[in-house]
């Protein structure tokens, strides 16, 4: 379920030679992380070694099908109501707007999330770290944006979990997001973090986004307006597809 679990092969052997392959363009300007960031060990194996070939959108891609109302179930946005009982954890509302490069709302588009449970455990065969699974939490949800480009999820705050990238490596708590922009070919996968996480400075995935402002765009904000009395904390997280203010994507 996570993009990073179990990717530790080759650690400690290629740092010097591959580090030279990071281009200047990767390290300046673009808010996206470079394809190759040696501290994030999995990128050493999957980073492209040749220049990318850009394929322009065709008419069929730009006019492809939108998602209909019946594509998403009534409770798909509420990860706390997918089982007989409620999951353990801090209940949270996560909401924001999906925006295009010009700041316009992207309507009727699919937003999907996946995350670990409150103990930091994924429901995934690769995740075997010794934290409990929660029988009332699967950790996947989806919804459509409304006419204002807004999405809303109800879930529980995910826990931090260890990964094998380096010694004593722990991921900051995060929720994975997949969104579509104006076309299916505009799919963007990113991670949403929580404010003031002490693990930010130690996480190569977070740090692979080199621009501090761009890193800040991956961090949600606690918002009292989304917080519901006696029920749930609220976090705001807007997602911008493309442009100078883009939410950094995950390669």
Binding residues for Fe ion (CB under 5 A)? 2
Q: Which is nearer to Fe ion, 137 or 149 (CB)?
A: 137
Q: Which of 174, 210, 217, 251 is the catalytic position?
A: 174
- Told to judge if 176 belongs to the known catalytic residues of this protein, a careful annotator would answer yes
Shortest Å distance, C-beta 56 to Fe ion: 32
- Own/partner contacts of 8-11, CB < 8 Å, gap of 24 or more, are 8/41, 8/42, 8/163, 8/164, 8/165, 9/41, 9/42, 9/45, 10/41, 10/44, 10/45, 11/41, 11/164, 11/165, 11/166
Q: Which is nearer to Fe ion, 34 or 120 (CB)?
A: 120
- Told to judge if 174 belongs to the known catalytic residues of this protein, a careful annotator would answer yes
- Told to judge if 161 belongs to the known catalytic residues of this protein, a careful annotator would answer yes
Which residue, chain included where needed, has tokens 């994975």?
176
Shortest Å distance, C-beta 176 to Fe ion: 6
SS3 24: helix
Sign of CA dihedral 39, 171, 198, 194: positive
Shortest Å distance, C-beta 2 to Fe ion: 3
Antiparallel, parallel or unpaired: β 91-99 and 233-236 = parallel
- Told to judge if 217 belongs to the known catalytic residues of this protein, a careful annotator would answer no
Q: Which is nearer to Fe ion, 122 or 144 (CB)?
A: 122
Q: Which of 37, 44, 77, 122 is the catalytic position?
A: 122
Q: Which of 7, 77, 121, 171 is the catalytic position?
A: 171
Q: Which is nearer to Fe ion, 2 or 190 (CB)?
A: 2
Shortest Å distance, C-beta 225 to Fe ion: 27
DSSP H helical segments within 180-251, as ranges? 204-207, 212-216
Would you please indicate which residues are annotated as catalytic (active-site) residues? 122, 161, 171, 174, 176
């Amino acid at each position: 379920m996570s993009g990073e679990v179990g990717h530790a092969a080759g650690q400690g052997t290629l740092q010097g030679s591959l580090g030279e392959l990071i281009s200047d363009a990767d390290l300046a300007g673009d808010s996206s992380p470079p394809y190759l960031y040696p501290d994030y060990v999995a990128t050493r194996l999957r980073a492209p070694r040749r220049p990318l070939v850009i394929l322009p959108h065709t008419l069929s891609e730009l006019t492809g099908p939108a998602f209909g109302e019946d594509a998403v179930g009534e409770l798909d946005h509420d990860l706390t109501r997918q089982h007989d009982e409620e999951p353990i954890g801090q209940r949270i509302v996560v909401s924001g707007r999906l925006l295009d490069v010009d700041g316009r709302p992207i309507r009727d588009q699919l937003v999907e999330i996946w995350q670990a449970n409150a103990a930091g455990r994924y429901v995934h065969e690769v995740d075997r770290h010794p934290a409990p699974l929660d029988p009332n939490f699967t950790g996947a949800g989806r919804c459509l944006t409304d006419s204002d480009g807004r999405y809303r999820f109800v879930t529980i705050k995910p826990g931090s979990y260890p990964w094998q990238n380096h010694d004593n490596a722990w991921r900051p708590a995060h929720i994975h997001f997949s969104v579509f922009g104006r076309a299916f070919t505009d799919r963007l996968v990113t991670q949403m973090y929580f404010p003031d996480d002490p693990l930010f400075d130690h996480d190569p995935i977070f740090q692979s986004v080199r621009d501090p402002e761009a890193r800040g765009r991956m961090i949600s904000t606690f918002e009292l307006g989304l917080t519901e009395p006696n029920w749930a904390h609220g976090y705001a997280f807007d997602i911008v597809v493309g442009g100078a203010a883009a939410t950094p994507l995950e390669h």
